[in-house]
């Protein structure tokens, strides 16, 4: 019995006791009064006795009224307790089913076994009925193997096949199971008994377009971060995309809702592409009637498209037009296309009011779908595609180096860049090739002419050399054709240093012919780098600094941390950075740590916030037995970490350093922190952690308080993944609003290393060039 039920029961007993007392007192007074009057009507006390009798009668009437009210109240209390008991029972059943599915090694086999025991579990009557209709009992060896996930955002069931590649039939079977599970979950959310008939399950399909987003704890926590009031412009691109993705991921629908989209608040338009279930997926509701299944598929496709359109309009007041294109899992053909404004959406919703999925679709100029007498999957011409020029301003996917525009105030604050070009990470050769490849032409003569023009226009020595050698290769026939695939390697990697680096890396590999050859390649690389050093072409001056950035995120951190340095940033060729990295690693492989240190120092100068540079130098310092110096370096890198993965790697490397320093428990604390902040390299770090503990049986896991105390005692920074996350989100929102999609895509991927979010993943995917479904 719950506390509320116990309190209610106590109150009922107390009211019943008081009513009983009233009845006894009232009856007693009535008897005393009537008896006294009957004995001596002329007695002076007769009037008093009559009053006593009346009072007794009144008390009896009042007690009777109390008794009636008490009975009614008790009936209501009993009904409430029954409802609460039913809700508790249903919650327990739902919880048991959820835990069973989540713990199943093969959820399909587990559900098939449940169907075999259906008579013993009437509480799952609807689920087992749906699964029987799907034919799960007869699948046998053809039954797919899969695990189950319950999406934290919407609470929908999602099956993950054991095999990466599955056929359409297997996919349809998984969709049939998802449909069965999600229909039962939806009815349970509505507090409908899941033992009801299939009619209730079918009815759940009819109002898919009216589905509201779930208010889950996960959604609330992610929304607070990604849609914080200070992020993005009101009515801007970031808030539009993020709000739409939030809506899509939060609605619980019978089938999974897979959406790709593109939007432009400047054009006031959003175009989405969704995968809708084919007729076979509806077998749990219509096991044998193929015509009826096709009707359900058509009706469900329209309702899904309307749901997506509604979500787009609700996500941003800037969106005035929404196009939704539907295809199924069997083909990439567009089978339904919807084009609506807020005004034209309303009549479609009204037309579906009171209808079922199996009913004929309403006629509308906003909907294109093949007539019902045509086969399912008949393609239609879409109103608009995601690749439509109206949604894809070329500026969005320009390289930052190609843009001269000044950053907005928000973008400058978030990225530290004054001009958009200061978000660039590509060296001059790569930028030149990116432009050149668009106008190379189709013949050798056209390619040669284009290259000569570029050679005369550029001031960059490396670009001039690239043009000269590529022209020579085209003219003397070294390159077989003028295709981009043939020309690119010569243009981008044809410098002598490129070839030396490639040879050194090859000879250092596991298939190296001999150690002597590897030594020779290393020495050749060292001599080549010495020539570059002596030339001074990449050395910093009072006017400019030479840097290398592995990512847009690293460039932004540099901009923000070095904003007081007014010198111009010049990006060195990738080959120069890789050459130094290769030289340091090669020399360490031959225990030549003293020789390796200058190259490790050069890496840190070129990439002051890069994890590879810092950890490479830490390895060199350890080789030199300068372990305390290595510890200090990694601590500084933790303080300046640019993403969750770097933070995790630094703690894992620091664990090894602490172990070298004889601090076993500190090493344990470092490994536990590494596992806590990022899951990307979890398997590797878990193995290293296990190996550490195997070396010393006295080492044990630490509580968070113990780990914190260990860090404080050894003056180890705890790292701040939340600050890293917030900086990345701010930069991402600003880049999206400023149409810097290439930079935003890189930032988004860095953010996902420390923030698992399906809506965020949807938004990052929307920043990339998308492949449209066929017409």
pLDDT digits (tens, 9 = 90+) for 735-754: 999 999 999 999 999 999 99
Among residues of the chain, what percentage have pLDDT more than 70? 87
pLDDT value of position 76: 73
Window from 144-158, 379-393, 396-410, 496-510 with minimum mean pLDDT: 496-510
pLDDT value of position 771: 57
- Is the four-CA dihedral 660, 662, 666, 669 of positive or negative sign? positive
Instruction: List the one residue out of 148, 143, 194, 204 whose CA is nearest residue 170.
Output: 143
CA dihedral 565, 566, 567, 568 (to 10 degrees): 120
Distance, CA of 475 to CA of 473 (rounded, Å): 6
Instruction: List the one residue out of 252, 244, 368 whose CA is nearest residue 310.
Output: 244
| Residue pLDDT, tens place only, 331-361 | 889 999 999 999 999 999 999 998 999 999 9
pLDDT value of position 462: 85
Q: What pTM value is reported for the model? A: 0.85
Cα separations in angstroms, 670 against 288, 296, 721: 60, 56, 15
pLDDT value of position 166: 85
| Residue pLDDT, tens place only, 467-495 | 888 888 888 888 876 778 888 888 888 78
Burial of residue 409, with CB atoms counted within 10 A of its CB: 0-12 exposed, 13-18 middle, 19 or more buried:
exposed
> Whats the size of the chain, residue-wise?
775
Mean pLDDT over 27-35 rounds to: 57
H helices of 439-573, in order, are 444-457, 461-475, 484-493, 496-508, 515-535, 552-561
Window from 284-293, 578-587, 650-659 with minimum mean pLDDT: 284-293
Q: Is the pLDDT of residue 44 over 70?
A: no
Selected residue with higher pLDDT from 141 and 413: 413
Mean pLDDT over 193-199 rounds to: 64
pLDDT value of position 404: 84
- Band of the pLDDT at 436, cuts 50, 70, 90? confident
pLDDT value of position 615: 96
Quote the tokens at residue 131. 């699964």
Q: Is 699 helix (H, G, I), strand (E, B) or coil?
A: coil
| Residue pLDDT, tens place only, 676-694 | 998 888 899 999 999 998 8
Q: Is 438 helix (H, G, I), strand (E, B) or coil?
A: coil
Quote the tokens at residue 347. 């009549």
pLDDT value of position 88: 62
| Residue pLDDT, tens place only, 452-474 | 988 888 888 888 888 888 888 88
Please provide the average confidence, as pLDDT, over all residues in the chain: 87
Selected residue with higher pLDDT from 69 and 631: 631
Quote the tokens at residue 355. 């209808």
> Phi and psi dihedrals of 566, rounded to 5?
-85, 0
pLDDT value of position 775: 47
- Band of the pLDDT at 444, cuts 50, 70, 90? confident
Instruction: List the one residue out of 401, 680, 761, 767 whose CA is nearest residue 555.
Output: 401
Task: Say if residues 185 and 156 touch (Cβ distance below 8 Å).
Answer: yes
| Residue pLDDT, tens place only, 525-570 | 999 999 999 999 999 999 999 999 999 999 999 999 998 888 999 9
H helices of 611-663, in order, are 611-623, 627-639, 644-660
DSSP structure class, residue 450 = H
pLDDT value of position 59: 59
- Band of the pLDDT at 330, cuts 50, 70, 90? confident
Distance, CA of 541 to CA of 654 (rounded, Å): 34
> What is the secondary structure of 546-576 as a DSSP string?
EE--SSHHHHHHHHHHTTT--SEEEEPPHHH
Instruction: List the one residue out of 404, 249, 305, 363 whose CA is nearest residue 759.
Output: 249
């Amino acid at each position: 019995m719950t506390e509320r039920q116990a309190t209610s029961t106590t109150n009922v007993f107390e009211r019943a006791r008081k009513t009983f007392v009233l009845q006894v007192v009232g009856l007693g007074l009535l008897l005393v009064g009537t008896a006294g009057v009957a004995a001596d009507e002329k007695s002076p006390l007769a009037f008093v006795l009559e009053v006593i009798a009346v009072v007794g009668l009144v008390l009896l009437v009042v007690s009777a009224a109390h008794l009636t009210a008490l009975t009614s109240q008790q009936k209501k209390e009993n009904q409430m307790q029954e409802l609460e008991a039913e809700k508790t029972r249903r919650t327990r059943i739902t919880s048991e089913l959820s835990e069973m599915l989540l713990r199943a090694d093969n959820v399909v086999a587990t559900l098939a076994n449940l169907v075999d025991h259906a008579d013993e579990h009437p509480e799952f009557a609807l689920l087992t009925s749906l699964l029987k209709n799907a034919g799960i009992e007869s699948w046998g060896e053809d039954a797919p193997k899969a695990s189950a996930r319950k999406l934290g955002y919407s609470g929908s069931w999602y099956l993950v096949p054991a095999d990466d590649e599955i056929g359409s039939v297997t996919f349809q079977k998984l969709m049939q199971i998802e449909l069965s599970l999600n229909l039962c979950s939806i009815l349970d959310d509505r507090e409908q008994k899941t033992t009801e008939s299939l009619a209730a399950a079918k009815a759940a399909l009819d109002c898919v377009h009216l589905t509201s987003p779930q208010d889950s704890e996960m959604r609330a926590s992610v929304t607070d971060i990604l849609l914080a009031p200070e992020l993005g412009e009101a009515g801007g691109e970031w808030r539009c995309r993020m709000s739409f993705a939030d809506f899509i991921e939060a609605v619980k629908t019978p089938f999974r809702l897979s959406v790709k989209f593109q939007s432009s608040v400047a054009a006031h338009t959003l175009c989405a592409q969704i995968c809708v279930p084919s007729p076979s997926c509806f077998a749990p509701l219509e096991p044998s009637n193929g015509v009826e299944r096709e009707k359900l598929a058509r009706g469900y496709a329209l309702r899904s498209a309307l749901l997506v359109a509604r979500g787009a309009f609700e996500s941003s007041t800037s969106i005035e037009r929404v196009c939704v294109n539907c295809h199924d899992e069997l083909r990439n053909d567009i089978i339904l296309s919807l084009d609506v404004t807020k005004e034209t959406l309303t009549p479609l919703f009204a037309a579906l009011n009171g209808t079922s999925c199996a009913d004929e679709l309403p006629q509308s100029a906003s909907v294109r779908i093949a007539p019902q007498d045509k086969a399912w999957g008949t393609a239609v011409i879409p109103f608009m595609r995601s690749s439509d020029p109206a949604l894809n301003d070329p500026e969005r996917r320009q390289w930052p180096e190609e843009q001269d525009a000044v950053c907005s105030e928000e973008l400058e604050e978030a990225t530290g860049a004054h001009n958009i070009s200061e978000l660039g990470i590509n060296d001059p050769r790569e930028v030149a090739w990116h432009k050149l490849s668009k106008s190379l032409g189709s013949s050798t003569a056209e390619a040669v002419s284009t290259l000569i023009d570029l050679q005369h226009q550029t001031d960059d020595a490396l670009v001039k050399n690239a043009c000269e050698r590529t022209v020579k290769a085209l003219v003397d026939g070294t390159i077989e054709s003028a295709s981009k695939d043939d020309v690119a390697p010569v243009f981008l990697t044809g410098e002598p240093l490129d070839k030396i680096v490639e040879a050194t890396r090859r000879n250092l590999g596991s298939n190296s012919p001999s150690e002597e050859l590897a030594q020779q390649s290393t020495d050749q690389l060292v001599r080549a780098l010495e020539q570059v050093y002596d030339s001074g072409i990449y050395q910093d001056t009072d006017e400019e600094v030479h840097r290398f950035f592995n990512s847009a995120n690293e460039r932004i951190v540099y901009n923000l941390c070095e904003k007081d340095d007014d010198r111009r940033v010049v990006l060195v060729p990738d080959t120069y950075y890789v050459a130094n990295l290769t030289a340091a690693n090669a020399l360490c492989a031959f225990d030549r740590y003293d020789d390796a240190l200058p190259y490790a120092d050069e890496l840190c100068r070129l990439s002051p916030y890069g994890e590879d540079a810092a950890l490479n130098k830490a390895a060199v310092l350890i080789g030199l037995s300068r372990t305390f110096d290595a510890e200090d370096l990694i601590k500084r890198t933790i303080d300046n970490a640019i993403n969750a993965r770097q933070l995790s790697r630094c703690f894992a490397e620091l664990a090894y350093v602490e172990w070298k320093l004889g601090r076993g428990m500190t090493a344990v604390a470092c490994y536990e922190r590494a596992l806590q902040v990022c899951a990307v390299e979890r398997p590797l770090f878990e193995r290293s952690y296990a190996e550490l503990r195997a070396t010393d049986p006295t080492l044990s896991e630490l509580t968070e308080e113990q780990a914190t105390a260990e860090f404080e005692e050894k003056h180890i920074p705890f790292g701040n993944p939340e600050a890293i996350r917030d900086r990345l989100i701010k930069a991402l929102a600003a880049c999206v609003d400023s149409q810097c999609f290439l930079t935003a895509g890189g930032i988004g991927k860095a953010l996902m290393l420390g923030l698992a979010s399906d809506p965020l993943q949807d938004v990052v995917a929307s920043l990339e060039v998308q492949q449209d479904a066929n017409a």
